[in-house]
Amino acid sequence: MTNLVVATGNPGKLKEMQAYLIDSGWELMLKPEELEIEETGETFAANACLKASQVALATGNWSIADDSGLAVDALNGRPGVYSARYGNSDTERIDRLLKELSNQENRQAKFVCAIAISRPDGAIVLQTEGICRGEILYAPQGNGGFGYDPIFYVPEQNLTYAEMTPEMKRSISHRGKAFTDLLQKLPNLQ
Ligand code: ITT
């Protein structure tokens, strides 16, 4: 089995990425904790490529990275690629977003997930993106998941991401859509 380093320091993401990749035929490895990549890109795709490529070069292995975030219509797509930098904790980030939307009736938003896979020499060989549209609630609801999950409501399921079982979130989420596409292409890579 070929090693594949999962290039994330976010435990919530890591758990979901491992679940998608468990039967993929790759030997998953964790990114060394001290290895941090600065996200200088202006798009999710650019940052996913940056992380995958840098981690591959630093470890000498194949690497997979996920760059994701929440884009709110009434905020012109913010926090977008700054989703992780919107506060120092999940609670702070959620509070800030809810404050910014406090007088706003348009609650439409989308979660975006870009994934990139790099060869050990840093070359990106696969990229994909998934989107899930939803609405931002006025207060958090549900205890599951991570990050912005408690305020992201999906009308088709009548649940927030945080109220879904991990299996349901995996099947309909932005990350789920990106991985469905990726997993079809993954076996042909090496
Ligand atoms: P890595 O770069 O190390 O992977 P990160 O947390 O910095 O970890 P990003 O730069 O991609 O990752 O930022 C993503 C932000 O969007 C972060 O605040 C997440 O909590 C949030 N996010 C991404 N996917 C999410 C999901 O499925 N549910 C809730 N929040 C999510």
Residue 161 Cβ < 6 Å to ligand 1: yes
Query: Atom 30 of ligand 1 has which residue's CA nearest to it?
Result: 147
3-state secondary structure labels for all residues of the chain: CCEEEECCCCHHHHHHHHHHHCCCCCEEEECCCCCCCCCCCCCHHHHHHHHHHHHHHHHCCEEEEEEEEEEEHHHCCCEHHHHHHCCCCHHHHHHHHHHHCCCCCCCEEEEEEEEEEECCCCCEEEEEEEEEEEEECCCCCCCCCCCCHHHEEECCCCEEHHHCCHHHHHHHCHHHHHHHHHHHHHHHCC
Mean pLDDT, the chain, integer: 96
| Domain locations along the chain | 2-188
pLDDT in tens, 17-61: 999 999 888 999 999 999 999 999 999 999 999 999 999 999 999
CATH number assigned to the domain covering 2-188: 3.90.950.10
Please indicate whether residue 95 is annotated as part of the active site: no
pLDDT in tens, 49-65: 999 999 999 999 999 99
Residue 10 Cβ < 6 Å to ligand 1: yes
